[in-house]
């Protein structure tokens, strides 16, 4: 192991120590959820502690993207399109979550994750900078933390990295919501996008589409164009009202790109995400460069976009007769899109590998899959546990009895009585079991959680 690997693994260990543990999350959930309305002033204080000013972020020419589903794919399309913008090559920063295999995937420059050495360098510039006695941290309230937790730390590190690297544009994916999300500290983004909305993160955002839309539309800024996709009428009404409140232009609703437009990310639902990305890139180019005479750059960017772990297919390197289909769908809407995509992969026996995060409804997600009537001969269930240091997840209770997996297997048995079910203790065990059990051609769908998909990509040696 070289010194850069040692420094990286040490950084990952220190970063994992910033996770909120499962017990605290359960206390928050029991109290009805909690939104920290001081989160942005506190985050601004962290930025100042590192020697930056919040207004410095305006120079990153941010493309800010939120939504319930599709925001990550939209970011990937945007990155791919802008990398082909005619003229001077752009230096493009990209911040997304979660990661699939290594945490450094969350912060990218020109489509490549930070190197291990650079991740460690910028991690400790941020980590040690926050712990330094001088300058003193400006405390917003007596309860304000002296160190941000996991996601907020990575957001801070991303902004610090992009400033240090002097990127021309920073594509920032919102974590949860928008109004109080740490990415929303930027005052003057170049353009804002709102991908498809649905019911998710109810504990933090509310239980109605209107409440969720209010949070998501919190990224809208004065005089900054905002683009969105077809939304439920109540959600679109809230987005429009928030645009008026913020003195922003009325939101522009984009239609999905045509069926004959080639996309590098599979799935009919990606046509909506692609359309949003095209609108965001056109607006960014309009504001920051002369409008190109031809839009061939857009077509090329859409066709060559990649977004690992979402409607991704690959043959097992060790067992070529096994074809893996992985998708991080974890809401009812995204699972419906995943099921429709998988239904078109071809004939032959299929195996399901499934995990739903602790705060998701396995019943609802599995019901969507069962309704597609794919030819599953076996369903394998496992927790989101693997051997990777980057996969350490203290937010989930390590259940040695595998109770949630057994419950999910029981649900599936009721939905698909003819299908065998198997429960295994880790993702690595599940992948090995499938590879050692099936000696003839088989299609395997791994879905329900991006953490599961990341573990599968690593264990089955899929590309990212």
Q: Maximum Cα–Cα distance for the chain, whole Å? A: 66
> Regarding the domain delimited by 3-303, which CATH topology (the fold level of the hierarchy) does it fall under?
3.40.1190
Q: Which two tokens stand for residue 155?
A: 């957001």
Give the C-alpha distances (Å, rounded to integers) separating 244 from 180, 215, 233, 240, 247: 19, 15, 17, 6, 5
Locate the DSSP E strands across 289-387: 312-315, 322-327, 350-354, 376-381
Contact indicator for 460, 101 with CB cutoff of 8 Å? no
CATH code reported for the domain at 312-459: 3.90.190.20
User: In the prediction, which pLDDT does 28 show?
Assistant: 40
Segment 67-112, tens digit of pLDDT: 998 999 999 999 999 999 998 899 999 999 999 999 999 999 999 9
* 113 close to 103: Cβ distance less than 8 angstroms: no
CA dist., res. 54 & res. 39, Å (int): 14
Residues of the chain with pLDDT under 70: 1-2, 20-35, 199-204, 206, 290, 293, 357-360, 388-400, 463-464
Q: Which residue has the tokens 């329900």?
A: 448
Cis peptide before 70 (omega within 30 of 0): no
pTM listed for this prediction: 0.91
Residue intervals in the chain for CATH 3.90.190.20: 312-459
CATH 3.40.1190.10 residue spans of the chain: 3-303
> Which tokens go with 227?
């683009």
Chain centroid to CA 257: how far? 22
- The rounded distance, in Å, linking the Cα atoms of 166 and 213 is 33
455 within 8 A of 428, measured Cβ to Cβ = yes
Query: Model confidence over 290-306: pLDDT tens digits?
Result: 677 688 999 999 999 99
Q: In a 3-state reduction of DSSP, which class is residue 261?
A: coil
pLDDT for the residue numbered 201: 53
Q: Where are the alpha helices (DSSP H) in 94-149?
A: 116-131
Q: Which pLDDT does position 206 carry in this prediction? A: 66
Check residue 22 and give its pLDDT: 42
Task: Give the pLDDT score at 3.
Answer: 75
């Amino acid at each position: 192991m070289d010194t850069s690997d040692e420094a990286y693994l040490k950084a990952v260990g220190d970063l994992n120590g910033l996770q909120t543990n499962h017990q605290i999350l359960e206390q928050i959930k029991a109290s009805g959820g909690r939104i920290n309305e001081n989160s942005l002033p506190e985050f601004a204080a962290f930025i100042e502690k590192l020697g930056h000013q919040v207004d410095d972020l305006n120079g990153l020419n941010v493309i800010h993207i939120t939504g319930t589903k599709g925001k990550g794919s939209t970011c990937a399309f945007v990155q791919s399109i802008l990398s082909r913008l005619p003229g001077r090559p752009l230096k493009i920063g990209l911040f997304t979550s979660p990661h699939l295999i290594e945490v450094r995937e969350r912060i990218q420059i020109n489509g490549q994750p930070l190197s291990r050495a650079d991740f460690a360098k910028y991690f400790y510039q941020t980590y040690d900078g926050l712990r330094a006695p001088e300058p003193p941290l400006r405390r917003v309230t007596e309860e304000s933390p002296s160190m941000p937790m996991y996601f907020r730390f990575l957001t801070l590190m991303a902004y610090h990295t992009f400033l240090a690297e002097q990127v021309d544009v920073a594509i920032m994916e919102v974590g949860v919501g928008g109004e109080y999300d740490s990415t929303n500290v930027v005052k003057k983004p170049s353009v804002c996008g709102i991908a498809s909305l649905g019911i998710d993160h109810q504990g933090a955002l509310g239980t109605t589409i209107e409440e969720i839309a209010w949070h998501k539309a919190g990224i809208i800024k004065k005089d900054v164009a905002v683009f969105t996709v077809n939304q439920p009428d109540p959600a679109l009404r809230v987005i429009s009202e928030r645009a008026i409140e913020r003195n922003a232009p009325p939101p522009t609703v984009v239609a999905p790109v045509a069926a004959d437009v080639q996309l590098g990310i599979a799935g009919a639902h990606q046509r909506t995400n692609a359309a949003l990305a095209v609108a965001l890139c056109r607006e960014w180019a309009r504001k920051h460069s002369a409008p190109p005479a031809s839009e061939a750059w857009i077509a090329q960017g859409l066709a060559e976009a990649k977004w690992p772990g979402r409607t991704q297919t690959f043959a097992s390197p060790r067992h070529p007769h096994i074809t893996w289909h992985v998708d991080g769908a974890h809401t009812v809407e995204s699972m419906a899109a995943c099921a429709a995509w998988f239904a078109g992969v071809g004939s032959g026996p299929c195996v399901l590998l499934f995990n739903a995060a602790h705060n998701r409804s396995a019943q609802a997600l599995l019901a969507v899959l069962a309704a597609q009537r794919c030819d599953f001969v076996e369903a394998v269930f496992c927790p989101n546990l693997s051997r990777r240091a980057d996969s350490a997840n203290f937010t989930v209770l390590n259940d040695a009895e595998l109770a949630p997996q057994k419950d999910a297997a029981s649900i599936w048995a009721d939905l698909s009585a003819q299908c065998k079910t198997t429960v295994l203790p880790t993702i690595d065990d599940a992948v090995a079991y499938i590879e050692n059990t099936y000696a003839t051609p088989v299609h395997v769908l791994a879905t329900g959680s991006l953490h599961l998909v990341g573990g599968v990509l690593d264990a089955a040696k899929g590309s990212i």
